[in-house]
Amino acid sequence: MIERFNADVEPKKVFEYFSEISDIPRGSGHMEKISSYCCDFARSRGLECYSDEALNVVICKNGSVGRENEPPVILQGHLDMVWEKRSDCSIDFEKDGLELLSDGEYVFANGTTLGGDDGIAVAYCLAILDSDDISHPPLEVVFTVDEETGMDGALALDASRLKGKRMINIDSEDEGTLWIGCAGGARFDALYEFSPVSASGTACEIVVSGLHGGHSGAEIHNGYANANVVMGRVLKEISGSVDFCLACICGGTMDNAITRECRSKIIILSESEALFKVINRLNSSLRKEFSETDPDFSLRVRSCKNEKTCMNKTDTERIIGMLCDFPNGVVSWSKSIDGLVQTSLNLGTIKTVDNKVSLVYLVRSCDNSEKASLIDKLKITAEKYGAEYKVHSEYPAWEIREASELQNIFAETYEKMFGKKMTVTAIHAGLECGLFCGKIDGLDCVSFGPDIFDIHTPDEKLSIPSCARTWEYLLAVLKNL
């Protein structure tokens, strides 16, 4: 039976705080209220606290009795949540709190995301800060803002004020798994300016659609086809038997999503029969090629309204050349962790605007030097085709440490408590740990958290028993540090 969630389940303090922060609107970019709530919380308990211009909050607490002189440890999570709701949900996110529900096993929100990502970290930390009977070393609790929209809080944070050289990030959603590394990233934008010529010929639109898509970090290993890249192959193939110029090409909406659809318009200078033949042949060979990963793949062509201008032959060839020459997808696999992608890139969007074609790639790598080398390769390729480029929004990888005291304590404590081994792994997506490692020399860092399912969607749900076990585990780790 689904009922209103009452915070009267164990761990009570944690769920009390979780309910309290669920009443505070805290979507990314709306951080004022939650940030000042955390500062007020600290002040009213006499805890040292500071916030910065970005609205990040740091709260310090002395070590428990007898542990005051131990080296401090950083506990970290993010204050913002993703605001997603069902179409029939009438919540005003900026004003209303969330309505928490439970079926006894899970906590979730009525029609919206729950914000368990990463409200559970905030609730754990507040419960620890509020306690006087938990054994722990001196604590620096760091609450960052706007993780979900580009880690802007962690980017802006002045870490030189932090004394801790060990950090526990509580922003993972898989109980029993310890994350010890993550990919860094960068955006690579290639921009090709073409000289328009007047279009005289038959206009046709080519559409690549029905592809699976997915997250360009977490799902890149699945090998889903990228519609923009497929379009490059299609155009190259057509150019073998049809005389044409490209008028425009557009595909994808986000740099971090594997592109599901791409459209291009071409002006045919010869007769169009050959085009339909090639498209038919390609449609069946590509359907076969993608049958495992993208069974709904479709390639279509239809005649369309004529364009006033298009690219000349040279520009057309160069755009197709770039699409075929730039690498895409998985570039290399980790040598230390089975099945982990080390380096990848995704051609997230192509746009044609005002005589310019832009190609936007999101590059990821768990190895900072391999990432730099891939970006160099992209630069050389762009130059080869006469395109300008810009590298930006770069953040470092959280590189896996060979020897980590923190990892050992987490692994040993887990095995002792639960009688099984923890999964120790890394992820091919971004975590704030990478930014902290870039700012704090020699930082020893791990990430973990309770089971939360379907984050970033209105189906998001937090497991109550997992939350309780993870709480006991965190307390045991703090005791063993």
> Near Zn ion by CB under 5 A, which window of 170-178, 222-230, 343-351, 463-471?
170-178
Among 171, 255, 294, 399, binds Zn ion (CB under 5 A): 171
Q: Which of 80, 117, 171, 175 is catalytic?
A: 80
Q: Which helix (H) or strand (E) holds 246?
A: strand 244-251
Per-residue contact flags (x/-) with Zn ion for residues 59 to 98, judged by CB under 5 A: ----------------------------------------
Of 54 and 60, CB closest to Zn ion: 54
Of 26 and 263, CB closest to Zn ion: 26
HSE-up (13 A, CA, CB side) for residue 111: 12
Of 247 and 445, CB closest to Zn ion: 445
Of 84 and 370, CB closest to Zn ion: 84
**Cα–Cα distance for residue pair 337/415, rounded to 1 Å:** 20
In 3D space, the residue among 312, 324, 316, 326 whose CA is nearest the CA of residue 389 turns out to be 326
Q: Does 444 contact Zn ion by CB under 5 A?
A: no
Minimum separation from the CB atom of position 115 to Zn ion (A): 10
Minimum separation from the CB atom of position 432 to Zn ion (A): 8
Q: Are 75 and 140 in contact (CB under 8 A)?
A: yes
Minimum separation from the CB atom of position 58 to Zn ion (A): 18
Q: Which of 117, 118, 140, 147 is catalytic?
A: 147
Q: Does 146 contact Zn ion by CB under 5 A?
A: no
Of 171 and 444, CB closest to Zn ion: 171
- Report the chain's terminal Cα–Cα distance, integer Å: 41
The interface with Zn ion within residues 22-51 (CB under 5 A) comprises none
DSSP 354-412: TTEEEEEEEEEESSHHHHHHHHHHHHHHHHHTT-EEEEEEEE--BPPPSS-HHHHHHHH
Count the residues of the shown chain that bind Zn ion, applying the rule CB under 5 A. Answer: 3
> Near Zn ion by CB under 5 A, which window of 114-122, 198-206, 295-303, 427-435?
114-122
Q: Are 460 and 81 in contact (CB under 8 A)?
A: no
Q: Are 449 and 120 in contact (CB under 8 A)?
A: yes
> Near Zn ion by CB under 5 A, which window of 136-144, 168-176, 201-209, 397-405?
168-176
132 C-beta neighbours (distance < 10 Å), count: 6
Q: Is 354 a catalytic residue?
A: no
Of 171 and 451, CB closest to Zn ion: 171
Minimum separation from the CB atom of position 59 to Zn ion (A): 19
Alpha-carbon torsion (121, 122, 124, 128), positive or negative:
positive
Minimum separation from the CB atom of position 456 to Zn ion (A): 9
Q: Is 105 a catalytic residue?
A: no
Minimum separation from the CB atom of position 121 to Zn ion (A): 8
Q: Does 118 contact Zn ion by CB under 5 A?
A: yes
Q: Fill in the DSSP letter of residue 220.
A: G
In 3D space, the residue among 433, 368, 363, 383 whose CA is nearest the CA of residue 404 turns out to be 433
> Near Zn ion by CB under 5 A, which window of 51-59, 115-123, 310-318, 340-348?
115-123
**403 burial class (0-12, 13-18, 19+ CB within 10 angstroms)?**
exposed
**Cα–Cα distance for residue pair 40/59, rounded to 1 Å:** 11
**Cα–Cα distance for residue pair 296/218, rounded to 1 Å:** 21
Q: Are 31 and 80 in contact (CB under 8 A)?
A: yes
> Near Zn ion by CB under 5 A, which window of 113-121, 240-248, 256-264, 344-352?
113-121
Assign 108 to helix, strand or coil: strand
Q: Fill in the DSSP letter of residue 353.
A: E
Of 117 and 175, CB closest to Zn ion: 117
Among 80, 117, 315, 367, binds Zn ion (CB under 5 A): 117
Using CB under 5 A, list all residues that contact Zn ion.
Answer: 117-118, 171
As annotated, the active-site residues are 80, 147
